[in-house]
Amino acid sequence: MGIAWRRARLLERRSQTATARTLVLTAPDWPGHLPGQHVDVRLTADDGYQAVRSYSLAAPADGDRIELGVQAVDGGEVSPYLTDGLPVGAEVEVRGPLGNWFVWRAEQTEPALLVAGGSGVVPLTAMVRAHRAARSRGPLHLLYSVRSPEDVWYRDHLADGDPLLDVRIMYTRQAPPGSVRPPGRITTADLDEATARLKPASPVYVCGPTGFVEAVDNLLIDRGRDPVTIRTERFG
């Protein structure tokens, strides 16, 4: 039998960027989840038409509360409704948690590299938050690729001050004034610098649009990284 759908109520919506929102929902009897897992969200129109999309969980397990991070896709059927249409207090259906491979566990003590493209930062932020809450000893290195400074999510969770978290934001179109790195996509040099801090068996988590994930995966393998250490999540 598959995982059952359950009703979830929107408690709060916060802006991350001009087009991305945090959605906090309460899902009664939520069974808990691991950082990296996702849910399916199902919307049902008055005429019975249904649409289902997947969204990663942005926070570690916290009772019945779950947190999603949604980027509005231009012309998209579901995401603009979640970011700007669904009223606070309204219900959707969720099914999960889903995915058992793209997860970080508190007992992992080796260093790990997290590589995010755009909204791919959502499940990786759940890992960062769980890592901090568990006071895990293995350092996390986050490479985060975004178009411009206005597109950075989760500045609160990714701020300086955590000695075991190293965040490097790479801008593809427009970097902040004074940036040493010119705007551009992730390069072999960016990845070499980050993987130099890993052990050969340390896990690398890569998440974002399919093209981004495949490009990073290929660069890592070209540089000799063992494919079994690379875990990927494609947002499509």
Ligand X SMILES: Cc1cc2nc3c(=O)[nH]c(=O)nc-3n(C[C@H](O)[C@H](O)[C@H](O)COP(=O)(O)OP(=O)(O)OC[C@H]3O[C@@H](n4cnc5c(N)ncnc54)[C@H](O)[C@@H]3O)c2cc1C
Alpha-carbon distance of 87 to 72, in angstroms, equals 16
Q: Three-state SS for 128?
A: helix
Nearer to ligand X, 190 or 233 (CB): 233
Cβ proximity to ligand X: between 78 and 220 the closer is 78
Least separation in angstroms between residue 213's CB and ligand X is 11
* Closer to ligand X by Cβ: residue 37 or 202: 37
As measured in angstroms, the least distance from the Cβ of 179 to ligand X is 25
Instruction: Say how far apart CA 145 and CA 183 lie, in whole Å.
Output: 10
By beta-carbon proximity to ligand X, the closer residue of 129 and 195 is 129
Please answer whether residues 90 and 24 qualify as being in contact, where contact means their C-beta atoms are separated by less than 8 angstroms: no
* Residue 68 CB, nearest approach to ligand X (Å): 6
> Among candidates 157, 186, 193, which has minimal Cα distance to 169?
186
Residue 76 or 138: which CB sits closer to ligand X?
Answer: 76
CB of 67 to ligand X, least distance (A): 10
Least Å distance, CB 151 to ligand X, is: 13
Instruction: Establish whether the linkage from the previous residue to 149 is cis, with ω within 30° of 0.
Output: no
Nearer to ligand X (CB atom), residue 117 or residue 139: 117
- CA torsion, ordered 10, 15, 17, 21, to nearest 10 deg: 0
Nearest-CB residue for ligand X? 76
- Cα–Cα distance list, 223 to 183, 184, 216 (Å): 22, 19, 11
Distance in Å, CB of 56 to ligand X, minimum: 4
Helices (H), the chain: 79-84, 121-133, 188-195, 210-222
Nearer to ligand X, 21 or 195 (CB): 21
Measured CA to CA, the distance from residue 136 to residue 30 in angstroms comes to 25
Closest approach of ligand X to the CB of residue 193, in Å: 27
For residue 19, give both structure tokens.
């087009």
Distance in angstroms (rounded) separating the CA atoms of residues 39 and 82: 14
State whether the Cα torsion 141-143-149-153 is positive or negative.
negative
Q: List residues binding ligand X (CB under 6 A).
A: 38, 53-56, 69-71, 73, 75-79, 119, 122, 209, 233, 235-236
